[in-house]
Amino acid sequence: MLLKSTMLLKTHRALAPFYGTSSAFQNAKQLSTYAEIARQRRSLQGRVAVLTASTDGIGFAMAQRLALDGAHVVISSRTQENVDAALDKLKSQGFSASGIVCHAGVKEDRDKLIAKAVDEFGGFDILVSNVAVNPGGGGRLMTCNEDVWDKIFSINLKSSFFLAKEALPYMEKKGKASIIFTSSIVGFVPNYAVEFLGAYAISKAALLALSKLMAMELGPKGIRVNCIAPGLIETRFGAAAVKDERAQKIIKGLCPLERTGTSEEMAGLASFLASDDSSYITGANIVAAGGLHSSL
């Protein structure tokens, strides 16, 4: 009983800056009111999220988490089969979701993706650009030919920028909105990828700069722009890198948590960046890589 009273007193003191004097804490109802305020800041209820490359891996996990936290999600992929399978799973879990085929590198497809969200909801609050390619498994930078270079930068960088630009008129109407790019730890430290992700690493570094510059231009419009930089994550897309013996050495020798990450761990960060709990965060490149060293 004494312990419970002491904990309650500490709670009252901790919340005092938000509500003024101790007279504001006379009953549990007021404490529950504060808990409700906190819950609402985390909630995405009534918001609409548009996501690219979101039928598998990190993108699908992000769609699940945003939906779990209350958003309607508009997912997309390059094939109808993938869209249908992902929608079936989301709806079977009781989530509000719709989807459309979208090759992010094709402007007409990006227009259709945006139009779907606008036609259904009049606009959207959250945009997650998760698309990425690494043709042929990549390789060292100086082995990259012009066709591979163009494809990597067209999808990983160009499509992310123009999707955000094309979405801007509809996101502005919301008064506040969140754009989230998916970069990579190799954008910070290309040395991690020197053997197998050369050009890919450069494209991911460019996304870090894109998020900072866009944040400066869009901040006055009420739109926040942030970037997530995952480490080695267990996904189908990242399987080759994760299984590579050089990547395993990095995990065992340089990663404090000594393990790969999960898509769900990236999804939680995306939901935070989409919510009001991150309302004063923009232009941030947030590394989620188990403690791997990261710097530019």
Which are the catalytic amino acids? 200
| 8 A C-beta contact, residue 166 and residue 112 | no
What is the C-alpha to C-alpha distance for residues 63 and 52, in angstroms, rounded to an integer? Answer: 10
Q: Which residues contact 50 (CB under 8 A, 6 or more apart)?
A: 73, 74, 76, 113, 114, 117, 124, 126, 127, 128, 167
Tell me the H-state helices in the chain: 2-19, 28-42, 57-68, 80-92, 107-121, 146-153, 159-172, 185-188, 198-218, 239-243, 245-254, 263-274
**Quick one: how far is CA 17 from the chain centroid?**
32
Neighbours of 260 (CB within 10 A): 22
Q: Which residue has the tokens 């450069």?
A: 202
Helix (H) or strand (E) holding 134: none
**3-class DSSP state for residue 100?**
strand
DSSP 143: G
**Quick one: how far is CA 119 from the chain centroid?**
24
β-strand pairing of 97-101 with 285-288: unpaired
What is the C-alpha to C-alpha distance for residues 288 and 243, in angstroms, rounded to an integer? Answer: 19
Cα 20 to Cα 5, 17, 28, 36, 37, distances in angstroms = 20, 6, 16, 18, 16
